[in-house]
Structure 1
């Protein structure tokens, strides 16, 4: 389709009343991400790096809907939209927005500009080939590497101009409808292959006194060179300072054109093996150690997000926790898809107060829309279905300040949570009575996971799988017992709660039982 025709069609679909801009809001329970002024949990997938083209997505839209995805994250390649310097072609962007709208899905578009996984893979040929104007970083041996020097004015300006043009066009075609709800700026920025740029111009900067804003942001005192102030982390801090300045230049240029929420994704420094910036992780990225520096230097970025692929729940939580802070909501824009990762999503969305998760590398098959959910996506589909069905209630629980995660792990089959006037107990698998009461044995495939949120003094939402949930008044209360007044199973559909059935008898006598297929239940309690 002709690009002018596509733009005309997109403009023609704009509603008479502009939709509110997607935004962050904060209450006592943490951040809410609002889309159309309603709480929105990002339940996403991200396509492969080279799949951000309308024809490729024809196979993915129907799959996304089948597995209860509400947001698809797609790369926008700088080299594809500005193949010749100063000449832009946004037909790809038009096609992606049109495809998402036609399928009732939201988009996060990721600007793959000068940085992708610590390298410059997606910069245009006119940038890659002109090494005099757009120089590369130099490693410790004096050899150039495949990363652009971040302190160079021409490189910063070129990336910023390209991103600004992209955001200007996005405003033109989506400035009122907001199919695109957020934009990721670059991808896992930083550098691999060296701790910092060792070019002659970079070395001169490194020999100078470290800027006061960097010293303050990282809680240091005094003055001196980068090594004098930051010691062993001098080179990494130098790399982070100039990388953050580069990213702020790009993000600010785009936000002037269209102030959608923007975020960075991060290849974290919490890795197996020895800590070695530039090798264990990209040096200069917004890692846990450099996060305070980024929060000070990149005000045009609304939040910073870790990509997490840790198999261990301990490491997963360790990597996610630093990014759930009073000035930063947790979004995990890249993670895995199997059952273990689906369980870990419950940590992110509950205890860590996350605004969403997204699974990397999910795309439609060559067979297209067969109507079936692939076996390797069934756990993800079930997880997204249950969380989507409970989203408004989970938002209320977060606003109330009482949303908790209960996740079965090997050797962990009983968990107790404190909700102030009430305590909850989640048990996974069959229970056996013995000394100390009932002991849960765990499920055969470690499938138990549940989010429990308080939405009123006596009211709770319970959303999960393979779990038995009990409540009692807080230990020491005058009324020692609790019972279910009501337990209503159902789901939210188009923002309206639709009850399916009332649970009673066997389903609640020994505790509220959530099936392996997963469900959402609203309960009201009483003390006696």
Structure 2
């Protein structure tokens, strides 16, 4: 491993001539780990892996589906069938420290070795003290010793299967195991297979908004920390409206108790708890930074959806309305991430894709929309990646692979466009079928493919499948459009809106009664046409290879470009202007 190579290198330093030593150091340098990192480009944060822009196109395994080499092998084979470049695997504390102070990293070594053999990158999820709020992945020696490792309690004093974030003993045990894990990875993963790390999983209090254990009450009585007040003052313009509103309603006090500064309600309890969960996580993140100076670190949140209140959902997790508390208390964490299982996909991702929070979706419901969702978040939000949960149970791998492999081929191009305002993403379902983008003097209208009448499923009562894509502006009047289930038209930005006309199966008007009046007056202005449309593949160097040239029926005689709902294609479009 790297440590042994380092010792070997040092032992030879005094023995070899300069030329031979230089050659040796060059060879040994090939084995040194190249650590992943984040870098800013324009308005985006790019993930850099092996010194190149990288998008996490992957999946997360089921929680209990990677605890043996057989399980890991099966997951990786399915990942290959999906065209993934990354898999997120849990690391369970109970497996790596079955007896206190005795560590067994066999399960971790299996993941890294088997993934490396397939050239698949890995994100590790630390299932330490908390997993979905509960402390169910802790070793039994931790679970049984509740005097040493106390539980969180409800207001009535009821103990929960949740270790208290206010116990130093709890933190020390968690941090010891986490640090040993990271140190082992640093010494053994010389190829840099592990590229991202999640700390804990869906942290949050249940049954109550905050912990009422003795240690928690003692901390609560200290009042609001000055560091939090300072953060609020420095970031007034970007504070989440809900947090800002509570502070303003209480008079924007500069010190005081939690109720004096934020008001006396359940949401103030949540703010208090969020601060302390985040401080706990910050302690772990700092230890990670000592070992991995640049590897991205993140935390994930279970959503506060369906009208639930704090404690009915995991209270105080890294939720959008608590982002400022988490940023203030855990500055070493690179981003807060949503786990998405509810409707309203575009609204949810919009809450997390913020100037102070790069978007990464480590969990999303494993379903037909996933490939289209990935195209959308990368194109519209400069996302770092998206991972369907429990992908190893998926049934539609072939369709998904078309989309993931297509987007993987575009990564070199996307990496150049991130944050520069030259990229857009589209996402459509039955409730959202049209997207209009104005840029470069053009009005670009993208629609769901089923807005055309030519597929029987558009009108026979079938559920419209999710569709989406990504668009790159290569140069003025030149675009690359990739995705599935899209119809795209181009016109001047100042063109008058035209009344939609129902089309028949032959592509002409559905009936004579729909014909446009000829008494519109004299035409003024310019129009945009399709100079050429080619279906292409993207080579590793970013150049294009033409698969076929499209025209005639495939472009509705030059009126639009389109990609069917069952396909994923990349279209290279050149436009021209005429009058």
TM-score, with length taken from structure 1: 0.87
In the TM superposition, residue 493 of structure 1 has moved relative to its aligned partner by 4.8
Q: 1:483 to 1:518 in 2, by over 3 A?
A: same
Q: 1:389 and 2:409 equivalent?
A: yes
Q: What is residue 435 of structure 2 aligned with on the other side?
A: 415
* Contact in 2 for aligned 1:402/1:419 (Cα 8 Å): no
TM-score, with length taken from structure 2: 0.80
Structure 1 or 2, whichever has the larger Rg, is 2
Cα offsets for 1:395-434 (capped at 9, x unmatched): 333343132222333254443211233221223346679x
Q: 1:71 and 2:121 equivalent?
A: no
Q: What is residue 328 of structure 1 aligned with on the other side?
A: 357
Distance in 2 between residues matched to 1:149 and 1:330, nearest whole Å: 29
Q: Secondary structure at the match of 1:521?
A: strand
Q: 1:501 to 1:19 in 2, by over 3 A?
A: farther
Q: What is residue 304 of structure 1 aligned with on the other side?
A: 336
In the TM superposition, residue 445 of structure 1 has moved relative to its aligned partner by 4.5
Q: 1:278 and 2:311 equivalent?
A: yes
Q: 1:490 and 2:536 equivalent?
A: yes
Distance in 2 between residues matched to 1:277 and 1:412, nearest whole Å: 30
Q: What is residue 264 of structure 1 aligned with on the other side?
A: 299
Q: Secondary structure at the match of 1:347?
A: helix
CA RMSD of aligned residues (A): 2.7
Q: Secondary structure at the match of 1:198?
A: coil
Q: 1:191 aligns with which of 185, 199, 205?
A: 205
Q: 1:179 to 1:417 in 2, by over 3 A?
A: same
Q: What is residue 338 of structure 1 aligned with on the other side?
A: 367
- Report the number of matched residues: 498
* Contact in 2 for aligned 1:430/1:443 (Cα 8 Å): no
Of 47-56 and 506-515, the range deviating more from structure 2: 506-515
In the TM superposition, residue 482 of structure 1 has moved relative to its aligned partner by 2.3
Distance in 2 between residues matched to 1:382 and 1:442, nearest whole Å: 26
Distance in 2 between residues matched to 1:442 and 1:38, nearest whole Å: 46
In the TM superposition, residue 345 of structure 1 has moved relative to its aligned partner by 3.5
In the TM superposition, residue 392 of structure 1 has moved relative to its aligned partner by 2.5
- For structure 1, which runs of at least 5 residues remain unmatched after alignment? 365-373, 434-439
Distance in 1 between residues matched to 2:404 and 2:364, nearest whole Å: 14
Q: Secondary structure at the match of 1:58?
A: helix
Q: What is residue 106 of structure 1 aligned with on the other side?
A: 121
Question: Counterparts of 1:242-261 in structure 2 under 5 Å?
Answer: 242-259=276-293, 260-261=295-296
Q: 1:305 to 1:442 in 2, by over 3 A?
A: farther
Q: 1:354 and 2:383 equivalent?
A: yes
- For structure 2, which runs of at least 5 residues remain unmatched after alignment? 9-26, 233-243, 497-523
In the TM superposition, residue 18 of structure 1 has moved relative to its aligned partner by 3.8
* Contact in 2 for aligned 1:428/1:441 (Cα 8 Å): no
Distance in 2 between residues matched to 1:114 and 1:237, nearest whole Å: 21
Distance in 2 between residues matched to 1:382 and 1:22, nearest whole Å: 27
In the TM superposition, residue 188 of structure 1 has moved relative to its aligned partner by 0.6
Distance in 1 between residues matched to 2:316 and 2:386, nearest whole Å: 24
Distance in 2 between residues matched to 1:431 and 1:52, nearest whole Å: 42
